[in-house]
């Protein structure tokens, strides 16, 4: 899941970006309306979090241009406490939800999850691979319908491997998928996360193979639908 945050208040932007990354989203930040507009023209995002009072180009105009391009990208507006009129205009222009400042990060997280569920209504809700199922909207992975604990970064890597199951995914692609996290991460860190994923997935017979020097591959049809007892005894 890739999120574009548009916010000119440095402190708020910093807090938003950090908490969204902790929740496992890949996050890009634009600090003014023009930067946001060009990011939306070139980048592929799953969600836009848009402040309204922005330098160079206002948030409502960013939204108007986005919808004029027929984009159906889910948009959540952040607005000042007294911005009722702006909120109404934002919703009229095609925003999906709004949150008045100041807000609790927990509420923002819940609204994002709700938007993602709605946004994915037209596409398959779950990515499946043998006994493994992943819900990208709810960010939960299941083995035979039992939820499994993964960190945000593990989930981000797992999601890309699942979307390309049976095909090779390079470390660079995985780093790119993690977006700005990649700045703090090395290829070695990817190895660590893949190692953790393997430990969690192998009891269910799901293998991530290493393509030497090239990357990783979530093996297709190599797993066997192991009987339930085998799974239980190996946990």
Chain positions contacting Ca ion, by CB under 5 A: 8, 51, 53
CA distances from 189 to 157, 172, 181, 194 (A): 11, 12, 11, 9
The minimum distance between CB 4 and Ca ion, in angstroms, equals 15
Q: Which residue's C-beta sits nearest to Ca ion?
A: 53
CB 229 within 8 A of CB 219: no
Cβ proximity to Ca ion, 12 vs 182, nearer residue:
12
Whether the ω angle into residue 102 lies within 30 degrees of 0, i.e. cis, is: yes
> How far apart, in whole angstroms, are the C-alpha atoms of residue 190 and residue 196?
10
The minimum distance between CB 191 and Ca ion, in angstroms, equals 40
Cβ proximity to Ca ion, 29 vs 169, nearer residue:
29
The minimum distance between CB 8 and Ca ion, in angstroms, equals 5
Cβ proximity to Ca ion, 8 vs 35, nearer residue:
8
The minimum distance between CB 53 and Ca ion, in angstroms, equals 4
Cβ proximity to Ca ion, 78 vs 175, nearer residue:
78
Beginning with the edge strand found earlier in the chain, give each strand of the sheet holding 215-218 in spatial order.
168-169, 215-218, 208-211
User: What crossing angle do the helices spanning 105-119 and 10-22 adopt, rounded to 10°?
Assistant: 60
């Amino acid at each position: 899941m890739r999120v574009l945050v548009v916010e000119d208040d440095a402190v708020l932007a910093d807090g938003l970006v950090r908490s969204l990354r902790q929740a496992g989203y890949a996050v890009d930040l634009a600090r003014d309306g023009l930067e946001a507009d060009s990011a939306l023209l070139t980048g592929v995002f799953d969600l836009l979090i848009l402040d309204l009072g922005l330098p160079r180009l206002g948030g409502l105009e960013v939204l108007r241009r986005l919808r004029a391009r027929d984009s159906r990208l889910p948009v959540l507006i952040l607005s000042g406490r007294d911005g009722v009129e702006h909120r109404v205009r934002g919703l009229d222009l095609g925003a999906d939800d709004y949150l008045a400042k100041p807000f609790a990060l927990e509420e923002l997280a819940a609204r994002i999850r709700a938007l993602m569920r709605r946004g994915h209504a037209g596409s398959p809700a779950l990515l499946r691979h043998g006994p493994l199922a992943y819900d990208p909207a709810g960010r939960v992975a299941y083995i035979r319908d039992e939820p499994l604990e993964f960190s945000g970064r593990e989930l981000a890597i797992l999601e890309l491997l699942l979307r390309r199951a049976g095909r090779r995914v390079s470390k660079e692609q995985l780093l790119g998928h993690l977006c700005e996290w990649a700045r703090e991460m090395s290829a070695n860190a990817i190895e660590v996360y893949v190692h953790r994923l393997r430990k969690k997935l192998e009891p269910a017979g799901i293998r991530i193979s290493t393509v030497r020097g090239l990357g990783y591959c979530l093996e297709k049809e190599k797993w066997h639908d192991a009987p339930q007892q085998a799974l239980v005894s190996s946990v």
